Structure 1
């Protein structure tokens, strides 16, 4: 165990998380893990569930033989592919703890459709501890959700040259605040952002990533600006230096026109996230960058998580700092500062 936590500390931390998820006596908690991976998390979650009086079991499937970073760049590839008995077993649970990363997969959607709430947990213990969710964070995320559901247009800009408009209203809103107590709902611990997708042909303009912005799944910081030209929902041109070349080559490697689609758009609200986490050696898949307070999260690739039909395996999350974002005529983020009072972080 990392972060100075022993197994009993970890069980107590996971028990607090399960309480937020509404786990009670008589409910069923399933843990999905991969063979040879995350055994300590699986054991701790099952012990925590048992302490709350829940029934619990572990579905330990054969590994998909790729790391977490590779999974984020190849969505849909997971340990449940073709494993019908395991899927059916997980659909029986009230809550499934996903230690294997089913994100954007048909398997996850089927499990959610059965009413099972799903919690993804793949970050290191120090990140889970530092970014532990609160009801206050949920309230701020849901304040953003109310605005985003009503908005018809989203526009964001930055001083590097970004100016892009999204036509909204076709798809719902994805909220992440770090726990789930609603049947069929997915969340990710840690979280702290919200997002939606435009209509498939409803994004037009230019996005310019500045120095210090983040490229996922590379977990790297932009060294030279990357300029994306977007027409009718698709990236049609990418310009810049080495980073632009790497991004272009990566997207081209999938040999899939849908890889160039613009995916979800949103902003971060977690004031405990650390932008420089990768530079300082913090592990995990990058929730610090994705949920960072006041960021704008520009993404490419699939939109199935929000009900769309683009199921490309190529997904890139591109968090950007110091941007300005409007919903219709309301200013939401101004150069990285969250403006509406009901979304602002508490004073530290």
Structure 2
């Protein structure tokens, strides 16, 4: 909350859910009261479809502390009016180990500035990934673990940067290797999956049992937009663990270790609304890939999973 620059008398709403655990409700309210903030607690039935009766409280706040990880588009809409949002759902052990620092923001914003200045992104890997996208038509976003600026949406903990490619520009091959991670399944891949990208979409999914499962998952929605290439970026967290899924119950974690892992490449599928696009999709996969190299206009940001840009490396 200090990193999020909570001020005395600032209006802050803590958002909880009737059906959720809300495990940080009491500590969030206590900490915010201790900082002198004007705190309200709002509990909703479905955080992904927030009732209209709750919107005046959210709209009057300067900061929303979201304990539900709401996916209701109204949160982003309120952000355009200046609402700061900070999501906190990970376990206490993860929050403590990955506790953000002020310096994380500078590293992540440097990466974001590099993306905004680039026209192309190419990604390769020893496993066989080799694809390229055009950039510039859509925006991206970044996370550094706190929300200190008007309109900024973030999640504690975690640090990474993502962007959206120009529509229909993704071409090439993505290889999801054994040991890479699939979200929201929260599982490690056991057998390699090869994706053939054509005109911004996954045109073919090849491989063994995991490829068949991925194809079955996407086919089940009977919507071609679930095969679209969505946001792309790389992880910049200092203290994440790639093996974290082995040590927690799936229901207890959200997956910031994998998504933000230092030097990973995050490939995703589905909608591009968060980048300013118009594509909607009922399914969204986040797929952190290990050991990739990422180039912006030919300049390396990450080589074989190692962040090489000095301004983005942790001290």
Shorter-chain-normalised TM-score: which range? over 0.9
Partner Cα distance (1:205, 1:245) in 2: 20
**Unmatched runs of 5 consecutive residues or more in structure 2:** none
Is the 8 Å Cα contact of residues 170 and 199 (structure 1) preserved in structure 2? yes
Paired residues, what number? 313
Structure 1 partner of 2:237 = 270
Cα shift readout 1:194-252 (whole Å, capped 9, x = no counterpart): 00001111111110111100011111111111001111111111011111111111111
Is the 8 Å Cα contact of residues 180 and 287 (structure 2) preserved in structure 1? yes
Report the Cα offset of residue 280 of structure 1: 2.5
- SS of the equivalent of 2:24 reads helix
Is the 8 Å Cα contact of residues 140 and 344 (structure 1) preserved in structure 2? yes
Identify the match of residue 237 of structure 1 among 194, 201, 204. 204
Cα shift readout 1:160-212 (whole Å, capped 9, x = no counterpart): 11110010011223110000111111011112100000111111111011110
Please, which moves more after superposition, 327-336 or 83-92? 83-92
When normalised by structure 1's length, the TM-score is 0.87
Partner Cα distance (1:192, 1:183) in 2: 19
Partner Cα distance (1:209, 1:146) in 2: 27
Identify the match of residue 257 of structure 2 among 288, 305, 313. 288
- SS of the equivalent of 1:56 reads strand
- The alignment status of 1:165 with 2:148, answered yes or no, reads no
Structure 2 partner of 1:115 = 82
Report the Cα offset of residue 40 of structure 1: 3.5
Partner Cα distance (2:283, 2:56) in 1: 27
When normalised by structure 2's length, the TM-score is 0.96
Structure 2 partner of 1:138 = 105
- The alignment status of 1:301 with 2:301, answered yes or no, reads no
Structure 2 partner of 1:94 = 62
- The alignment status of 1:338 with 2:307, answered yes or no, reads yes
- SS of the equivalent of 2:254 reads coil
- SS of the equivalent of 1:290 reads helix
Is the 8 Å Cα contact of residues 22 and 67 (structure 2) preserved in structure 1? no
Identify the match of residue 56 of structure 1 among 21, 39, 42. 39
Structure 2 partner of 1:154 = 121
**Unmatched runs of 5 consecutive residues or more in structure 1:** 1-17, 65-77
* CA-atom RMSD in angstroms: 1.3
Runs of 4+ in 1 over 6 A off after TM superposition: none
- SS of the equivalent of 1:285 reads coil
Report the Cα offset of residue 26 of structure 1: 1.3
